[in-house]
Structure 1
Amino acid sequence: MRFTSVNKYKGSTYEAELDDGRKLYLHADIITDFGIRAGMETDRDTLRKIVYASNFRRAYQRALYLLDYRDYTYSEMFKKLLENYKSEALCTAVMKRLTEHGFIDDRRYAERMARKLVEIKHFGYRRCKREIMLKGVDQFIAEDALAPYEEAFGENLMELLNTKHSRYLTDIEDRKSIEKVKNALVRYGYDFSEINRAVKEYFESAGGLEEEN
């Protein structure tokens, strides 16, 4: 088969027409890399390589475009690319390039997310781990990202009791209000055992303050 014409189409894209009527829309880099020109003879194997290289470039550039707006985990980006390009082999190759160049890094993503969930949202360990893994991050990577915050979880729990939930903790005999607080903290991702211990410490501290006054 033969390329009958190669003409500029839009921007850096060229329209390359084959003698069987097919038209390929290729970036200037692909035209240069394969030396494509009018009258050039090609075979099916070379044509397949040209199409693959073109699709790879499009998928890679699409990924970089998406990454300009926010970080993605490996799983998120792979699914995003697969929606458009359908080929698992192609998307896997693109993901390999992205990870090699450091554009996709699940450890970095998990560390940033852990910092936000712990320091800003004050979620407990279980909720943090679940939220990170929902992004497609491996369990062990999620656990490693949360490891530095072991002490912070206890501090955050007490801070929630002293600020957000203190208005419900005015009477140690008000079981209904106390249970409401405990259930809210379970949704935050804290264990019943640590919640019970924190609530006990909260009332003991409050009682101590009253005695001093």
Structure 2
Amino acid sequence: MRITAVEKTKKGRYAVFLDNVFAFSADAETTALCHLTVGRELSEDDCEQVKRQAETKYLKERALRLLSFKSFSKAELVKRLAEYTDDRSDDAALEVVERLEELGLINDKEYAARVARDYYARKGYGERRVMQELIRRGITRELAEEAAQANAPEAESALDKIIERRYAKYLTDPKGIRKTIQALARLGYPYDEIKAAISRYTDEDLYEQA
């Protein structure tokens, strides 16, 4: 296969055409280092190697850019980078992310702990809900459970704060109590802890009617 054209794109990359058909794009550095010039002959192996090199460099740049804006779990970043690959495969993305993990730029344990603390403080979630959210973000069940437990505030204090801030005004009748129980359950708190917390704010007979 022969390189018949190398054209600079609007994004600053270079589109490489083999036998007058677009084959792949590469950054300026890869284009220069691999001598991608018109007239050069490339074997299929050469072509695949250059494409892989260009894709890896591009994905690494995308990953670093994404990480400069926010944190990601390993699984989240792999999924996001796969969107930028030609075949939307996880293979090339996983290779890049694992390298970033080796460099300490991706750390699921630290990420899980940070997200858990945020959910407890900002959302008022219970331990079960925090664990569910971490798993949804691609954290393993074992690590999610560890982070949820290690960063959980004292349950009684957390529930009291939520009730005082959001639900105390509803604890004057059975209907309001039922809605509060349902809301706290959705936040991930166990029923026995919810019952104990609400009983500190309302009459036990009224609670039993709910």
Q: TM-score, normalised by structure 2?
A: 0.79
Residues 117 and 41 of structure 1: CA distance in aligned 2, closer, same or farther (over 3 Å): same
Contiguous gaps of at least 5 residues in structure 1: 205-213
Sequence identity percentage: 31
Of 89, 101, 104, the match for 2:106: 104
Taking a change above 3 Å as real, the CA distance of residues 155 and 26 of structure 1, as seen in their structure-2 partners, is same
Q: Structure 1 residues 153, 41: closer, same or farther in 2, change over 3 A?
A: same
Q: Which residue of structure 2 aligns with residue 27 of structure 1?
A: 27
- Offset at 1:190? 0.7
Aligned to 1:45: 45
1:159 aligns with 2:137: no
CA contact (8 A) 2:120 2:152 kept: no
Specify the SS of the correspondent of 2:166.
Answer: coil
Q: Whole-Å Cα distance in 2 between the matches of residues 184 and 4 of structure 1?
A: 65
| CA RMSD in angstroms, aligned pairs only | 2.6
Q: Tell whether the 8 Å contact from 2:4 to 2:20 is kept in structure 1 after alignment.
A: no
For residue 116 of structure 1, the aligned residue among 108, 115, 118 is 118
Which is greater in Rg? 1
Q: How many angstroms apart in 1 are the aligned matches of 2:165 and 2:16?
A: 67
- Shift in CA distance, 4/165, structure 1 to aligned 2, threshold 3 Å: closer
Structure 1 residue 151, shift from structure 2 partner: 4.2
Distance 1:184 1:89 in 2: 41
Q: Which residue of 2 aligns with 1:210?
A: none
SS at match of 2:95: helix
Instruction: Report the more deviating stretch, 87-96 or 144-153.
Output: 144-153
The answer as to whether partners of 1:182 and 1:195 remain within 8 angstroms in 2 is yes
Match of 2:54 in 1: 54
8 A contact 2:15–2:26 mirrored in 1: yes
CA shift in 2, pair 1:180/1:42, >3 Å: closer
Q: Deviations over 1:7-53 (max 9, x none)?
A: 766675345454x2245532122123324445544322112100111
Taking the aligned partners of 2:127 and 2:10, their CA distance within structure 1 comes to 52
- 2:73 maps to what in 1? 73
Counterpart contact for 2:5–2:20, Cα < 8 Å: no
The corresponding residue for 1:189 is: 188
Unaligned runs of 5+ in 2: 204-210
Aligned-pair CA distance for 1:165: 1.7
Q: Alignment length, in residue pairs?
A: 200
Q: Is the 8 A contact 1:6 1:16 kept in 2?
A: yes
* Residues 4 and 17, structure 2, Cα contact 8 Å, conserved in 1: yes
Could you tell me which amino acid in structure 2 is paired with residue 198 of structure 1? A
AA at the equivalent of 1:90: A
